[in-house]
Amino acid sequence: MNQVQPHSLFTDFDIDLFKAGKHFQLYEKLGAHLIEVDGVKGVYFAVWAPSARSVSVVGDFNFWVQGEHQLNVRWDESGIWEGFIPGIDKGTTYKYKIQSNNGGLITEKADPFALYCEHPPHTASVIWDLDYKWKDSKWMEIRKDKNGLDKPFSVYEVHLGSWKRNAEGKFLTYVELADQLVSYVKETGFTHVEFMPIMEYPYDPSWGYQLVGYFAPTSRFGKPQDFMLLVDKLHQAGIGVILDWVPSHFPDDAHGLGFFDGSNLYEHPDRRKGYHPDWKSLVFNYGRNEVRSFLISNAIFWLKQYHVDGLRVDAVASMLYLDYSRKEGEWEPNIFGGRENLDTISFLIDFNEAVYANFPDVQTIAEESTSFPMVSRPTFLGGLGFGMKWMMGWMHDTLQYFAKESVYRKYHQNDITFSMTYAFTENFMLPLSHDEVVYGKHSIQGRMPGDEWQRFANLRLLYGYMFTHPGAKLLFMGSEFGQTSEWNFEGSLDWHLLQYGFHDGIKKCITDLNALYKSYPALYEKQFSAEGFEWINYSDNENSVLAYIRKGNKEKENLIVVCNMTPVVHDNYRIGLPRKGKLTEIFNSDNEEYNGSGVSNSKPIKIEATPWNGREFSAEIILAPLGISVFKFS
């Protein structure tokens, strides 16, 4: 075996961009690359370790012996160590053995840019390539139309390890999921799937949110090309793919990014900014240019190499505020005396500008739980530049309202209508996510009050309200068929429940709601604009009834929505209307097919010239118990 030979993939311009925090394709340079030099095949290695005294590549090819293959540090003070090792091939396992200038500390680190990793609990990186023949060209050509803010956006959130297990209780592979998950999502009608983090992570109970392999899909379910197949198959089925992306923190595992070269390389050196007390993890140094290049390159990597259609950015609130989960005296104000992390704000702006400059047909989505302004507004207007933001207030108020017995709801009408006072301050996505079905919160179905019939009627009503409320939609797996137990990441969803009528009815209801959402432009064309919504009546708290109009670009296609939040049937409930003609019911959550009672408006309803609710016209409709009805004009 020959020793390390001098070689570089870096140009001077690459180094300048890296140092400036503007190199957004670092994965093409750093890491391990299968190349050929002077007719000899091997691997070029490059790693950033500016505080290292020496860096060796160790692996199964040299019996993990330090010093056998020592990289060379570049002359330009970039802190990059590099070199070419001939004779190494795909599948070789390796790590970097780093001797630090800080007291000579020696550590073994996985490659931060590794494309593939050993199956946990093993921790080595694996030489790999990303060769794959994509078959999703049709999707990529029309993606902008499918991914736009004025298009239906209904997301099925999935944890790959617990969506479904095989007969032996083991994980389904990416290849198996490419068959079973794709067909299921297509059947139920969701427009997108969102995968909880699939980047390599060491600890299953973290659900993937404690990453060590930012550029490697986890080997738990297969090889990188297998994950590409899953994305490819989803695209061929017309389904978009969103990845959870975690730039907010990372674990301090010995083989990970923490104290990488004997210094605080990736994490902020000030523990008040570099350590997260909630998750006992390290926080990136967003003010360091090379770290910004690393993170933004990682975002671009998944969008480019894996054809991903969006990134949901985790825990943005924890990034934005210096005092997040910190007591007085445990944080330091910014230079203006405020609590905002100015480095983070600058980083997120750079991230969104880079993503949309390179991929204008994708979406970035912020999980941000505070009132920080203009999260989903363009950067040129002073915003952070995200495409959407999770509407955490809607989620909290809605679940709290629906958990109340119907007899008490008349005292809480303002809770369910409050969201409309701020619904258009951001491009909101309505999330009923994994966070709402763990840690003793119960499943979504388990929060519903009343007897069995009422619980499922309430659940159908909740979903109908969600799908007709302005904004994009997100539903965690299992909620679409009324899973009764909390989510357990160590097992499968309770698929056996679908043999029962109430659960099968919920699934059919969700399938029809997805079809309704996609079929009627009034539900999505102006879902982020105040022009897309108008109240008919929000003050009938005595009956706990809400009535509103959803509007699209064409007035004649507007829809009327009426929610009855109690089990009382109203045979002649009058609502004011903006025009004459007829109303035809196109959705009713009390449908017998959903295991409802079948109370409906089976025939078109004539609109009368009778003033009501401050409008010139009105009509009498039937309100089903704990039901929502959607009408079109005819």
Q: Report helix, strand or coil for 158.
A: strand
DSSP 624: P
Backbone φ and ψ of 394, nearest 5°: -60, -45
Cβ burial, residue 251 (10 Å; 0-12/13-18/19+): buried
Quick one: tokens of 242? 């969103």
**314 carries an active-site annotation:** yes
Spatial separation of the C-alpha atoms in residues 265 and 285, rounded to whole Å: 8
**555 carries an active-site annotation:** no
Quick one: tokens of 178? 């490419």
Cβ count within 10 A of residue 555? 11
Per the document, the length of the chain is: 634
To the nearest 5 percent, what fractions of the chain are helix, strand and coil? 30, 25, 45
Cβ burial, residue 438 (10 Å; 0-12/13-18/19+): middle
H/E run at residue 505: helix 501-519
CB 631 within 8 A of CB 582: no
Buried b or exposed e, range 121-153, using 16+ CB within 10 angstroms: eebbbbbbeeebeeebeebeeebeebbebbbbb
DSSP 22: -
Catalytic option among 82, 290, 350, 367: 367
Spatial separation of the C-alpha atoms in residues 312 and 222, rounded to whole Å: 23
Catalytic option among 82, 194, 244, 314: 314
The three state secondary structure string of 559-620 is EEEEEECCCCCEEEEEEEECCCCEEEEEEECCCHHHCCCCCCCCCCEECECCCECCECEEEE
Cβ count within 10 A of residue 546? 24
CB 615 within 8 A of CB 578: yes
**Alpha-helical segments (H) within 157-306:** 174-188, 224-236, 271-274, 289-305
DSSP 119: P
The residues annotated with a catalytic role in the active site are 314, 367
